[in-house]
Structures are given as C-alpha cells and as structure tokens.
C-alpha cells in the first residue's frame, strides 16, 4: 500500500517541482506566484548546503537537520536527547548502545529507511574523504552495525556520555551515498523529516514541501519558502508588510521594539539557550589575577544592560549553561558593586597614579552595530573602576580569527545555543587550549588552567549516569564562578516574529526551526 502511494505521488512531485522551478527565479520584487498558502520563512543568510553532514552555518544546520533530515534522536528543550527516528535506545554496557528504529519509516521520496541507511550515514560522516566538519564528534565511535532491519548497535572505544546528543545526525539514504554519479546531495537532499526538498532555483529562495511520508504525519504547512534577506531592516519591512511570515531570532532587540506595535505581527518568546559572555586572556599578567577579573565582573551592571540594551529580551546569567539545561547549577547572581571593584584592584596593587588609569586593556567585539553598542556600554562601566578600556570593534572574520587564536585581552562573544554540557570541557579544560599545531580547534581561548576542574570535566564525560554527570557539572560551574575565566552576562531570549495568521508555531530555546512542523496558516 505504501509503495503504491509512492509511485502515484512521484510524477506529481516532478510536475509541480518543474513548475515552481520556472516560476521561482522571478521572485524578489514583485514576488511571482507561489503555491497557495506557502509560508515564507525569512533567514539572515542562505544555507551553504542542505547536507547536514557538511553544514557549517546555523541556517544550514537548521534547515537540513530540523526540517529535512532528522536523526535517531532529537534534542529536547532541556538539552536531553530523546527518540526521533529511533523509537527507543538502550545502553547495553557503558560503551555500547542499541537504537531501535520506528516501524515503517520512509524517506521523503517514499523509499524505506532501514538500519543499513543508519550504518551508511555514520560510515560516510566518519570517512575523511567527505571532509565533514562534524566528523570529530564521532571520533569516539568504534563501530556501527545493523543487528537487523530496525536495530543498530553503536560501540564506543570507551565510555563517553556526551555522544548521545550527537546521535541527532541526519540519516540519509545509503544508495545516495553509494552512487558517486548522483547529483550533489547537498543541492538535492533526501531525508525523512517533516519537509522534503522541492526546488532551489537561486541562492535566496529554497522551496520545501510537506513530506507525505513523515512518521508523525505530514505537517499542516504544505509549502515552505526559505527566503534569504541579508539586511535586517529589509527583514523587518517584509515581516511588517506580510511578504514574509516567520523569522526566528533574525531581528535584534532594538528592532523588536518597533515590531511589538506593528499590526498583524506577533512576537513569540521564551528563554533562550545562548549565553553572552566576556572571555579573559590568561596570558596577560594583570588579567591572570583573579582579583582583577572579579573587579571587572563587579563593575558590570548586567541588570541595566538586559533592561536597556536587550529591552528585556533576555535574562541575567549565572552560569555558562542556561537554566533550561539539565546540567545547569544556579550560582549566586553578581550585582554591580563599584566600591568592591575598586578595593579589589587596590588589593591587587593596581593603584591609579594621579589622574592616570590603573592600566589599559583592549576589549574586542564585532562591528555589528548592536554588539558594538553593547560593548561600548560595557567598556564605559569597566572604566568607572579606573581601568582604561580600548574598544576594538573588528569586522567579524578578523574578530573571530583573533578570538580563535587567543589574540585578545578581553573579548565579547555569544555562544550558539548550548545543548550538551560537555561544552564546558571544550571551553574550560586545559586540553582544549587552542594552538597552531591542532589548527586552533579548542575553545579554551583564554588559556585558563585548573587541574581540579580538568579532573571533574574528564570524569563527567565517562560518568555512567546523568545524575553523576550533573553532580560533576555542578561543581565545575561553581569553580568557574569563582575562577572567572568567563564573565557570563545574560541569556538572550529565543524570539520568533510571526504573522498573526500563523498558529501552532512552537519556538525552541535553541532557535531550531522544527516548530514549523506543527504550525498552520489559518484563513482570516
């Protein structure tokens, strides 16, 4: 019965697809006719590929991973991996897991999805010839085998708890991987997600359609256009005029204020999982002194920054892990205390000579108008302690390259939404200090070292239960709060801007697009 439907459906797909391929290049202004009821999702940059294994940008990861190619597990809002294409998973021993696929799974083209596809997907992502940027995440895997059509066994080289969250890698058909003469998968993806690929006539316009074979049933949105609009003001105008229907975290707080009063547009928000922070360079002898870092932390008025710069679209942070994360451990909130900051600097021997600053640090940030404005407010607050701050806004490419190499005194950054608490290992463990030999892969860019913390982070990776991991991470967060390799500032809200005729849209703390699977357009 399933096969019959697939055959009957296939020619229709081809006809409509061809039709839109002709119509879509005319998009832009004025927009050519789209399939009736098409929902337009506006994004900041075009996805560079639709192959989850090769995606680099957040947009590409989101479109491929959340809409087109789901994995064995998906990430729940608290950061825990929960079954997706797999209906369940069990741990046989600390280093062996078995995933059981849902019955009757099919790809968007109607072909069945079996254990062999899972095995082939993981073999391909680990194959150095593919050059996947996510390959290092699967380095701990020893073997992936199909036990039968629906069961896959994953054996690890040694117990490694964070690996489960990475089992969300999008499963792709084995036959698309075997045939080298197939058109580029990243331009013609096949997955088992709520949507399937329809057409990609130009970089700015990607058309997806509801996948009739999706295991949870096809989504109510029949056609979804992913439109790239790079300029923020234009995105705002398109949402106001109704040319675009949905945007996830693509409008900054100052612009949201304008949208809050616009007719026919609603703002949906929930606490987000991305942490904004300042990172210190431990190579600098003054910043290496914890009293100096603490003084700087005490000088920053985070409540005021959240209220006036984020306009309330955020929450003051107490840890690098967001409160929604299962491993988050609350730390005492810091409040601005200039007197204490000055005392700490005096105690550190950094007294100000008559009329001159105590010392000068540079604060690097990106040239993005909003980020630069926040950085200048922070610089001003730090200067009130008597430290002179040289603000260095840098074009993003230069800024990020400097940060990766540890070339900064203080840098102002934001983490992409944090899912797996093992990020703490990448950020604070001394084994994660980047250097030229490893191509600057580690995230411990300030060069922070604490052997006690290293031991906890390494224990948490192999801890047998989630409760034990959570206990380790709680101690890690307490140490990080005392040592201050980072000053955590706030968690920015996850905000969706939606036209008022779109209902049922769920927003994710991670900014994932998967909420579109449940959304529908109600006729006025």
Contact 23, 33 (CB under 8 A): yes
Residue 230 contacts other proteins per CB under 8 A: no
Residue from 158, 182, 230, 257 binding other proteins (CB under 8 A): 257
What would the DSSP string read from start to end of 40-84? EEEESS--S-S-TTT--SHHHHHIIIIII---SEEE-TTS-EEES
Q: What are phi and psi of 426, to 5 degrees?
A: -65, -25
Residue 261 or 465: which CB sits closer to other proteins?
Answer: 261
| 162 near other proteins (CB under 8 A) | no
Q: Among 372, 404, 414, 506, which residue sits at the site for other proteins (rule: CB under 8 A)?
A: 372
**Shortest distance, position 374 Cβ to other proteins, whole Å:** 9
Interaction mask 108-147, other proteins, x per CB under 8 A: ----------------------------------------
Q: Which position has the token pair 């105590």?
A: 358
Q: Name residue 82's beta-bridge partners.
A: 74
Q: Minimal distance in Å, beta carbon 292 to other proteins?
A: 22
Interacting span for other proteins (CB under 8 A) from 216-224, 368-376, 466-474, 476-484: 368-376
Closest to 379 (Cα-Cα) out of 411, 341, 420, 419: 411
Tell me which of 255, 262, 268, 316 binds other proteins, using CB under 8 A: 255
Instruction: Report how far apart, in Å, the C-alpha atoms of 468 and of each of 221, 392, 463 are.
Output: 42, 42, 6
Of the candidates 16, 376, 407, 430, which one interacts with other proteins according to CB under 8 A? 376
Stretch that binds other proteins, among 176-184, 390-398, 441-449, 505-513 (CB under 8 A): 390-398
Q: Quick one: 83 or 254, whose CB is closer to other proteins?
A: 254
Applying CB under 8 A, which of residues 205, 286, 291, 309 lies at the interface with other proteins? Answer: 309
Contact flag: residue 45 with other proteins (CB under 8 A): no
Taking the alpha carbons of 297, 440, 322, 425 in that order, is the dihedral positive or negative? negative
Cβ-based nearer residue to other proteins, 80 or 362: 362
Q: Which stretch binds other proteins (CB under 8 A): 121-129, 133-141, 148-156, 305-313?
A: 305-313
Q: By CB under 8 A, tell whether 391 contacts other proteins.
A: yes
Q: Which stretch binds other proteins (CB under 8 A): 130-138, 143-151, 187-195, 369-377?
A: 369-377
Phi and psi at 28, nearest 5°, equal: 115, -120
In the complex, least distance from residue 380 CB atom to other proteins, rounded to whole angstroms:
5
User: Closest CB to other proteins among 270 and 336?
Assistant: 336
Shortest separation between residue 408's beta carbon and other proteins, angstroms: 15
For residue 294, what are the contacts with CB-CB under 8 A and spacing of at least 6? 341, 344, 484
Q: How far is the CB of 157 from other proteins (least distance, A)?
A: 47
Beta-ladder partners of 278: 412, 487
Q: What is the DSSP letter of 18?
A: H
Residue 401 as a binder of other proteins (CB under 8 A): the answer is no
Question: In Å, what is the CA distance from 328 to each residue of 259, 319, 321, 341, 490?
Answer: 32, 7, 5, 27, 14
Query: What's the closest the beta carbon of residue 335 comes to other proteins, in angstroms?
Result: 15
Q: Nearest to residue 313, comparing CAs of 278, 271, 261?
A: 271
Q: Is 396 in the site for other proteins (CB under 8 A)?
A: no
Spacing of C-alpha 391 from chain mean position = 27
For 41, phi and psi rounded to 5 degrees? -100, 125
DSSP string, 96-162: EEEEEEPTT-B-TTS-B--HHHHHHHHHHHH-TTT--TTGGGGTTEEEEEESSSSEEEEEESS--GG
Residues facing 40 on adjacent strands: 225
Q: How far is the CB of 57 from other proteins (least distance, A)?
A: 24
| 389 vs 495, beta carbon nearer other proteins | 389
The residue (of 51 and 392) whose beta carbon lies closer to other proteins is 392
254 vs 323, beta carbon nearer other proteins: 254
Nearer to other proteins (CB atom), residue 106 or residue 364: 364
> CA-to-CA distance for 12 and 209, rounded, in angstroms?
12
Is residue 316 a contact point for other proteins (CB under 8 A)? no
- Residues forming the site for other proteins (CB under 8 A): 233, 254-255, 257-258, 301, 304-305, 307-309, 367, 369, 372-373, 376-377, 379-380, 390-393
């Amino acid at each position: 019965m399933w096969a019959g439907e697939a055959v009957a459906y296939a020619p229709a797909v081809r006809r409509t697809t061809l039709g839109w391929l002709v119509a879509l290049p005319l998009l832009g202004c004025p927009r050519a006719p789209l399939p009736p009821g098409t929902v337009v999702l506006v994004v900041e940059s075009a996805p560079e590929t639709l192959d989850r294994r090769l995606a680099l940008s957040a947009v590409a990861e989101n479109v491929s991973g959340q809409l087109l190619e789901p994995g064995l597990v998906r990430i729940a809002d608290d950061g825990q991996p929960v079954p997706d294409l797999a209906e369940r998973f069990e741990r046989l021993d600390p280093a062996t897991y078995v995933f059981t696929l849902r019955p009757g799974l099919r790809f968007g083209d109607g072909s069945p999805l079996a254990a062999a596809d899972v095995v082939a997907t993981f073999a391909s992502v680990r194959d150095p010839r593919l050059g996947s940027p996510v390959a290092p995440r699967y380095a701990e895997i020893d073997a992936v085998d199909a036990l039968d059509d629906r069961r896959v066994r994953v054996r690890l080289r040694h117990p490694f708890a964070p690996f489960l969250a990475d089992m969300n890698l999008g499963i792709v058909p084995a036959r698309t991987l075997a045939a080298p003469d197939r058109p580029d998968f990243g331009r013609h993806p096949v997955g088992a997600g709520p949507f399937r690929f329809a057409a990609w006539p130009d970089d700015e316009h990607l058309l997806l359609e509801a996948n009739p074979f999706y295991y949870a049933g096809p989504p109510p949105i029949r056609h979804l256009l992913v439109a790239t609009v790079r300029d923020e003001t234009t995105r705002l105008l398109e949402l106001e005029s109704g040319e675009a229907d949905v945007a996830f975290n693509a409008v900054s707080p100052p612009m949201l204020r304008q949208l809050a009063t616009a007719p026919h547009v609603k703002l949906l928000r929930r606490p987000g999982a991305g942490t904004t922070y300042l990172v210190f360079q431990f190579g600098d002898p003054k910043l290496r002194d914890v009293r100096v870092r603490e003084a700087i932390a005490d000088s920053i008025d985070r409540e005021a920054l959240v209220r006036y710069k984020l306009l309330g679209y955020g929450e003051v942070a107490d840890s690098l892990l967001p409160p929604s994360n299962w491993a988050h451990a609350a730390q005492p909130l810091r409040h601005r205390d200039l007197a204490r900051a000055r005392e700490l600097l005096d105690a550190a021997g950094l007294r100000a000579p008559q009329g001159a600053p105590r010392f000068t640090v540079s604060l690097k940030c990106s040239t993005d108008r909003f980020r630069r404005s926040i950085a200048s407010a922070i610089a001003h607050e730090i200067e009130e302690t008597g430290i002179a701050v040289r603000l260095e806004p840098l074009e993003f490419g230069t800024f990020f390259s400097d940060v990766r190499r540890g070339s900064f005194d203080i840098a102002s950054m934001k983490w992409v939404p944090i899912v797996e608490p093992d990020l703490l290992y990448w950020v604070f463990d001394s084994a994660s200090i980047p250097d030229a030999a490893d191509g600057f892969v580690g995230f411990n860019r300030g060069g922070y070292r604490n052997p006690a913390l290293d031991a906890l982070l390494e224990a948490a990776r192999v801890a047998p239960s989630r409760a034990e991991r959570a206990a380790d991470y709680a101690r890690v967060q307490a140490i990080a709060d005392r040592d201050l390799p980072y000053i955590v500032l706030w968690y920015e809200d996850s905000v969706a801007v939606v036209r008022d005729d779109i209902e049922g849209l769920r927003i994710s703390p991670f900014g994932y697009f998967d909420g579109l699977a449940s959304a529908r357009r109600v006729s006025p």
